[in-house]
Amino acid sequence: MKSTTTTSIALGFFASLILTLLSYGAVVKHWFSGTALVSAILAFAVVELVVQLYFFFDLGDGASRRWKLGAFAFTLGSVLIVIVGSVWIMSHLNYNMMASPDLMNTYIQSQQGF
Amino acid sequence: MSTDARAETAAFGFWVYLMTDLIMFAVLFATFLVLRTGTFGGPTPADLNLGGALAETFVLLASSVSCSLAMIEVRRKRAERAIAWFGVTFAFGAGFLALELSEFASLLAAGNGPGQSAFLSAFFTLVGTHGLHITIGLLWIAVSIVMLKVRGLTEHVVSILQRLDLFWHFLDLVWIFIFAVVYLLGHAM
């Protein structure tokens, strides 16, 4: 927001409050389940991020603002690559490193349990 | 460089620092997401206190609001009111830290320290790093209040306060994701 006013702060506050309560409710009251719930939680968090960026952050005017948003866009790209990339690679790694059922049985028997 | 241009450069420089901090937190988040299932028979994310985390979220949100209100007073050149709102921000921030430290203390008392499992290591590192940032922020708020009292609203002081404002909102943003990824996701999966 160009310059924060009491109105914008109040709006940001209530929007954040509602979004937090919605995601809390979704988990505790089981409004969704499985992948839908995970997506809902992340979606609420992202929306709250945008809301807070818009209402709370004083990004300045003109060129300065554009530079900050540009740096932020680049950082977001890096963040997504780091997080999504790590989770993707590690889950594939776990799967690929898993022994075959035969081998697992042999191992369990030789160890007499895990 | 004019003082205006200098202040703008300082603000942008601080923003770039915040971006690097964001990348650091991203790495800690990635580590947490990968290690969250490594519970080694100990507590899982579902065993974390969700209600306590919700309370922490509200407290930090309140401190973010009071910080913005303080900056409005700074812009209106009302030093006394700004000091009051920064005091409120400090109080909420300290409350958040107290809640978080009590959660850590109860985990440690039960023998569930950061060395006990991969999940706990990642948890303590991610949440602990955020808590460390909050602690530094509280120190910064305290010093800023003193600076305001002693020097008043000079351009230099205002520039510092603007950066503090950015820092504090940034910490609230990171917490939103900690709450979602650590606590909510923990109780969802």
Confidence at residue A112, expressed as pLDDT on a 0 to 100 scale: 67
Other beta carbons less than 10 A from residue A80's beta carbon: 11
Confidence at residue A94, expressed as pLDDT on a 0 to 100 scale: 87
Taking only the tens place, the pLDDT of each residue in B79-97 is 999 999 999 999 999 999 9
Whether residue B177 is predicted with pLDDT greater than 60 in this model: the reply is yes
Q: Is B68 on the interface with A (CB under 8 A)?
A: yes
Q: How far is B151 from chain A (nearest CA, A)?
A: 24
ipTM, interface predicted TM-score of the complex:
0.88
Taking only the tens place, the pLDDT of each residue in A14-62 is 999 999 999 999 999 988 888 899 999 999 999 999 999 988 888 877 7
Taking only the tens place, the pLDDT of each residue in A51-62 is 999 888 888 777
Contacts 24+ apart (CB under 8 A), B13-18: B14/B163, B14/B166, B14/B167, B15/A68, B15/A71, B15/A72, B15/B166, B16/A71, B18/B166, B18/B167, B18/B170
The answer to whether A44 contacts B180, with C-beta atoms less than 8 Å apart, is: yes
Selected residue of B65, B76, B81 to mutate for chain A interface (largest A Cβ count, 10 A): B65
Give me the mean pLDDT over the B56-76 stretch.
96
pTM equals 0.92
What distance in Å separates the CA atoms of residue B137 and residue B33, rounded to the nearest whole number? Answer: 26
Q: Is A64 on the interface with B (CB under 8 A)?
A: yes
The answer to whether A86 contacts B177, with C-beta atoms less than 8 Å apart, is: no
The answer to whether B30 contacts A82, with C-beta atoms less than 8 Å apart, is: yes
Taking only the tens place, the pLDDT of each residue in A65-104 is 899 999 999 999 999 999 999 999 999 998 888 888 888 8
Q: How far is A113 from chain B (nearest CA, A)?
A: 15
